[in-house]
């Protein structure tokens, strides 16, 4: 069923009887339609479709591969449940448009092909794009361990990406503090995991050599100070310092990880009692040896800057190069390769991404910052830089 003399023209499946493709048979069709009430119990290992795909029944993909190789094709119907999703998909030829949400294993776009994505696309396998991917402002869920390759920028850039898909089933609850978890940091030099709790200013510490895979690996908490939650933290590995930002009072605590174990409250000192409600995020410019800290406050927010050569251990070491009339700088990231600092802000109905070139300016004056993206969302909660593939990802709320 895969040669010009044996393949199908348009096929349409109806009725509740079994539709089974034998294990050793591949198939080619133009239009491929599964009507309501019909079910394909076993799909072929390789199915080539040059026309439209419509799925209103049930489709057991048998972990096979579907090759969409027509000119202009539409994929419609239910394609995102355990009994309707795809195995591997390969796209060749002109434009392929998803009319509904879909789930796949591997997702491959060959050169010369354009894929117009649905609002929600789940990919449990690998993603490879040698053509064009139109995101349509949708979200992509990537499975744990999935690789992403090919063209990922410009007109083929993703919109929103969630990399937690499928991860929860592989995770066990190893530690559950009563006040929740607000922040993490890993000291790679000393092989220590730090966890900041919410609501009580408590820090928990785990030696990674234990595996940190059961509650007993997490010793008794450390009371950092009379604060609410530990909203953010970062480790300056070069200079050997752990910084923690609080959710009340906007206090920055500091601990020297080279001379102490940061396992007692006395190891921590107040580096800066800043303005604002709380400290939201940290970033370290390793090229220029600068620490950036952002706060949140309903009356307006600030970005603080400190040269790490000063030790950043007293208030006078910090300056305020940039303020904005927004509620918070929720996120921060530094693209060290291209020399750019990004700030993600939040205010009801208007989240901004601000940008400063750290290679040509010191990012120490408001004029150094420009608006890179005026988003329709309320908050930019996280920004991540993939320096290997030269891609910026942002998560919105």
pLDDT tens digits, 78-123: 998 878 889 899 999 999 999 999 999 899 999 999 999 999 999 8
pLDDT of 56 over the 90 cut: yes
Q: Is residue 135 part of a domain?
A: yes
Question: How would residue 381 be classed by pLDDT, with cut points 50, 70 and 90?
Answer: confident
For residue 180, what are the CA distances in angstroms to 175, 228, 277? 10, 12, 20
Mean pLDDT of the chain: 86
Phi and psi, residue 285, nearest 5°: -90, 100
Q: Is residue 92 part of a domain?
A: yes
Q: Is residue 144 part of a domain?
A: yes
> Nearest 5 degrees, angle CA 283-CA 287-CA 293?
20
Give the model's pLDDT for residue 357: 97
For residue 230, what are the CA distances in angstroms to 269, 280, 312, 342, 354? 14, 9, 19, 23, 25
**Dist CA 85 CA 108 (whole Å):** 16
Max distance between CA atoms of the chain, in angstroms, equals: 82
Give the model's pLDDT for residue 218: 84
For residue 278, the SS3 value is strand
The answer to which of 141-150, 159-168, 325-334, 352-361 has the lowest mean pLDDT is 159-168
Give the model's pLDDT for residue 225: 76
**Dist CA 109 CA 89 (whole Å):** 9
For residue 308, the SS3 value is helix
Question: Mean pLDDT over residues 69-84, rounded?
Answer: 91
Q: Is residue 264 part of a domain?
A: no
User: Domain range for residue 111?
Assistant: 8-162
Q: Count of alpha carbons within 13 Å of 21, Cβ hemisphere only?
A: 21
User: Could you tell me which residue, 347 or 262, shows the higher pLDDT?
Assistant: 262
For residue 12, what are the CA distances in angstroms to 52, 57, 92, 288? 11, 11, 23, 64
User: Could you tell me which residue, 100 or 351, shows the higher pLDDT?
Assistant: 100
Give the model's pLDDT for residue 344: 86
> Nearest 5 degrees, angle CA 200-CA 202-CA 208?
150
Q: Is residue 305 part of a domain?
A: no
Give the model's pLDDT for residue 224: 84
Give the model's pLDDT for residue 167: 38
C-beta of residue 99 within 8 angstroms of C-beta of residue 56: no
Give the model's pLDDT for residue 370: 92
Give the model's pLDDT for residue 170: 38
Tokens of 243: 């910084």
**Dist CA 232 CA 210 (whole Å):** 24
Partners of 371 in the β-ladder: 354
> Nearest 5 degrees, angle CA 34-CA 39-CA 44?
85
If one counts the domains in the chain, the total is 1
For residue 74, the SS3 value is strand
Question: How would residue 171 be classed by pLDDT, with cut points 50, 70 and 90?
Answer: very low
**Dist CA 45 CA 64 (whole Å):** 4
pLDDT of 350 over the 80 cut: no
Question: Mean pLDDT over residues 276-283, rounded?
Answer: 90
Q: Is residue 331 part of a domain?
A: no
**Residues, the chain:** 397
Give the model's pLDDT for residue 1: 43
Question: How would residue 215 be classed by pLDDT, with cut points 50, 70 and 90?
Answer: confident
**Dist CA 50 CA 86 (whole Å):** 16
For residue 380, what are the CA distances in angstroms to 121, 295, 354, 373? 21, 14, 11, 11
**Dist CA 80 CA 91 (whole Å):** 18
Comparing C-alpha atoms, which of 373, 375, 285, 292 is closest to residue 335? 285
Give the model's pLDDT for residue 300: 78
Q: Is residue 32 part of a domain?
A: yes
**Dist CA 291 CA 309 (whole Å):** 10
Give the model's pLDDT for residue 169: 36
Give the model's pLDDT for residue 166: 44
Give the model's pLDDT for residue 269: 94
Question: How would residue 349 be classed by pLDDT, with cut points 50, 70 and 90?
Answer: low
Question: Mean pLDDT over residues 197-219, rounded?
Answer: 84
Q: Is residue 113 part of a domain?
A: yes
Comparing C-alpha atoms, which of 95, 117, 94, 99 is closest to residue 107? 117
pTM, two decimals, is: 0.59
Give the model's pLDDT for residue 106: 92
Question: Mean pLDDT over residues 228-239, rounded?
Answer: 92
């Amino acid at each position: 069923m895969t040669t010009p003399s044996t393949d199908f023209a348009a096929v349409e499946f109806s009725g509740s009887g079994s539709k089974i493709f034998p294990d050793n048979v591949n198939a080619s069709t133009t239009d491929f339609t599964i009507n309501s009430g019909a079910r394909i119990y076993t799909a072929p290992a390789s199915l080539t479709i040059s026309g439209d795909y419509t799925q209103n029944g049930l489709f057991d993909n048998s972990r096979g591969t579907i090759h969409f190789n027509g000119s202009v094709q539409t994929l419609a119907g239910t394609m995102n449940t355990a009994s309707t999703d795809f195995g591997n998909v390969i796209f060749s030829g002109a434009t392929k448009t998803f009319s509904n949400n879909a789930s796949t294993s591997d997702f491959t776009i060959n050169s010369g092909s354009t894929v117009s994505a649905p609002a929600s696309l789940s990919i449990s396998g690998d993603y490879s794009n040698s053509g064009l991917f139109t995101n349509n402002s949708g979200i992509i869920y990537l499975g744990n361990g999935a690789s992403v390759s090919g063209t990922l920028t410009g007109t083929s850039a993703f919109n929103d990406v969630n990399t937690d898909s499928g991860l929860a089933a592989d995770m066990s609850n190893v530690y559950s503090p009563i006040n929740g978890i607000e922040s993490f940091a890993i000291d790679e030099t000393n092989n220590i995991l730090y966890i900041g709790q919410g609501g009580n200013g408590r820090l928990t510490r785990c030696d990674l050599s234990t595996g940190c895979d059961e509650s007993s690996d997490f010793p008794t908490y450390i009371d950092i100070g009379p604060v609410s939650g530990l909203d953010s933290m970062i480790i300056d590995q070069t200079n050997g310092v752990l910084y923690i930002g609080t959710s009340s009072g906007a206090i920055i605590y500091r601990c020297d990880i080279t001379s102490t174990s940061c396992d007692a409250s006395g190891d921590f000192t107040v580096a800066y009692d800043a303005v604002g409600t709380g400290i939201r995020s940290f970033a370290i410019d390793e090229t220029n040896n600068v620490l950036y800290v952002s706060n949140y406050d309903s009356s307006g927010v600030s970005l603080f800057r400190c040269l790490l050569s000063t030790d950043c251990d007293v208030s006078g070491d910090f300056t305020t190069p940039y303020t904005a009339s927004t509620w918070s700088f929720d996120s921060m990231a530094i693209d060290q390769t291209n020399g750019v600092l990004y700030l993600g802000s939040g205010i009801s109905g208007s989240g901004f991404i601000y940008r400063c070139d750290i290679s040509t300016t010191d990012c120490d004056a408001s004029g150094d910052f420009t608006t890179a993206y005026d988003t329709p969302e309320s908050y930019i909660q996280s920004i991540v830089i993939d320096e290997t593939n030269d891609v910026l990802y942002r998560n919105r709320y």
